[in-house]
Amino acid sequence: MPGPTTTSAPTVHLPIDEALGVATGALVAAGYTREEAAVIGDHLMDCELRGLSYAGLARAVSIIERVRATPPPRPIRVDRETPVSAALDGGDQVGYLVATRAIDIALEKARAQGIAVVGARETWYTGMFSYYLERVIDAGFVGMIAGSGPALVAPHGGTESRFSTNPIAFGFPTADRPVIWDIGTSSITHAEVTLAARLDEPLPEGRAYDPAGRPTTDATAALQGAFTVWGGHKGSGLALVVHLLGMLAGASATPVGASDCGFLAVVVDPSVLGDADDYRARAAEFAESVRATRPIDGGAPVRIPFDRSAVRRAETLRRGTIEVTAPVVDTLRRTTLAE
């Protein structure tokens, strides 16, 4: 999958604690409780720590805009439940809160029953699935998360949006470092395009179509048209499957705007199939064998999914500061001062 886009907008370096305060202060000013802002802010800051700024503080701006443009959300509610499953109505709450609740329930059921399937609908902006899978892995479990949403992405061979960016992620505990594969099935994320539109910056070639179906680098036109799918016909097929998994949670196939996204989590305790410690040891040995693969001539060492994120986060924490787009910080600070 292509890497994230870059921005030429001016940036500022903020201490990590100060950046977190900027985000949570603006969220509280927009109506969230301090506890809710802390949950959302921790997720956004993890994006920043891992070098994914378009999904960090910039996403807080989008959250606030969406909250101010829509009626107040309803409480999160469990609609259906069995010993191994639950279906949540997210109440139009932001996904960072709904997914946290869903994972809480999934972990509780997996501890009791060895497996859990938890879905949620009526939510939006759920963030990085790898963030939730780290909690699953810390509990010693294997996890899979899939999500659907509004039409933003054209299927392979088409120029009209039918899929959402439809992320899917898998997480595996090992005796060493975790293995987490977390991707979107579009060639570019919604957060990247939104930030580019906000800053009036172009997209890379080949990532989007305008409403008439013409290739475009204009982010605003892309938001009105369609993003390209990742991985050609294979990625398009994966996007279709992920959309159907999100719909399994009760979400609409074609929600309007940032609304009624589907979220589906499956959590499995390895001990239901064998010795959990043995599995983790074998998984670590296999992952290390992948890392030890002979690289191509002149190439970098082979990495396992999530290795880059873990290294980048550790480096950022040692440095103690993050680099944030200045207009984003200014907007969040103005939001706080306005209340």
Domain ranges across the chain: 11-70+309-338
Confidence of residue 7 (pLDDT cuts 50, 70, 90): low
Task: Render pLDDT for 262-294 as a digit per residue (tens, 0 to 9).
Answer: 999 999 999 999 999 999 999 999 999 999 999
**Sheet containing 85-94: which strands, arranged edge to edge?**
77-82, 85-94, 115-124, 261-268, 142-148, 168-172, 179-183
Distances (CA, A) of 249 to 79, 261, 266: 11, 9, 12
Q: Is a pLDDT exceeding 90 seen at residue 56? A: yes
d(CA 230, CA 163): 12
Average pLDDT for the chain = 96
Q: Is a pLDDT exceeding 90 seen at residue 118? A: yes
Confidence of residue 339 (pLDDT cuts 50, 70, 90): low
Q: Closest Cα to residue 57, out of 181, 169, 194, 171?
A: 194
* 249, amino acid identity: A
Distances (CA, A) of 275 to 13, 48, 143, 270, 272: 47, 37, 17, 7, 8
d(CA 115, CA 138): 16
Q: Is a pLDDT exceeding 90 seen at residue 329? A: yes
71-88 core/surface letters (b: 16 or more CB in 10 A; e: else): eebeebeeeeeeebbbbb
Q: What is the pLDDT of residue 338?
A: 77
Q: What is the pLDDT of residue 337?
A: 85
What CATH number labels 11-70+309-338? 1.10.1530.10
Decide: 165 and 240 in contact? Cβ < 8 Å: no
Q: Is a pLDDT exceeding 50 seen at residue 2? A: no
Q: What is the pLDDT of residue 6?
A: 58
The helix or strand, by DSSP H or E, that contains position 95, with its residue range, turns out to be helix 95-113
Q: What is the pLDDT of residue 12?
A: 95
Identify which has the larger pLDDT, 338 or 79.
79
Task: Render pLDDT for 134-186 as a digit per residue (tens, 0 to 9).
Answer: 999 999 999 999 999 999 999 999 999 999 999 999 999 999 999 999 999 99
d(CA 130, CA 309): 10
Q: Is a pLDDT exceeding 60 seen at residue 324? A: yes
Q: What is the pLDDT of residue 4?
A: 52
